[in-house]
Amino acid sequence: MENKVTSHIVKGAILSAFGILISIIVTVFNLYEVSWINYINYAITIGGLIYSCIMYANENNNNVTFGNIFAHGFKTTSVIIVISVVYVVLSLKVLFPEMPDKILEIARKKMAENPQMTDEMIEQGLGMTKKFLLPFAIGGAIIGTAFMGVIASLIGAGIAKKNPVDPFAEPTA
């Protein structure tokens, strides 16, 4: 009987759901400036991807190569990227339309803390931030998640047990 392998789509959807849940908690409870919450999200994503790679190897009776495991991990990452980008667009435009204003206010506070920034420089910076907020958010989701996914997939593929079967070896029986 052949083992059932959990799809990378299912694993990516589950990890994305955790990330979206944390993002919703941050938004609803106005925890934008609490940076450690983002680290929880990163840890869940990286840990989940590593576990996904190990689980994939185990579901295949460890008859996989480093490349097979890495590919599975990065496919899972790709699913997370797609879902994250959709969520970013929906959250900024539909679900939480006040979020861009909160982000700009936080940016204003951070810029005002810098004594070298003049009021004119702050306004110019905020204008650019407002203009490019959505593209930067989408780009950040893609690049950040892809980077985390590559690292986690490499780690997962490295630590997963592997017994690759050589398809060109002659049977000994």
What pLDDT, on the 0 to 100 scale, is given for residue 124? 86
- pTM (two decimals): 0.85
DSSP designation for 35: T
What pLDDT, on the 0 to 100 scale, is given for residue 1? 45
Spell out the domain ranges in the chain: 8-159
CA pair distance 89, 135, nearest whole angstrom: 9
In the predicted model, residues of the chain with pLDDT beneath 70 are 1-2, 166-167, 169-173
What pLDDT, on the 0 to 100 scale, is given for residue 172? 64
CA pair distance 120, 126, nearest whole angstrom: 10
Which contiguous run of DSSP H or E holds residue 171? none
What pLDDT, on the 0 to 100 scale, is given for residue 6? 87
Q: Name the residue among 147, 167, 150 with its Cα closest to residue 64.
A: 167
CA pair distance 66, 72, nearest whole angstrom: 10
Structure tokens at 148: 């985390």
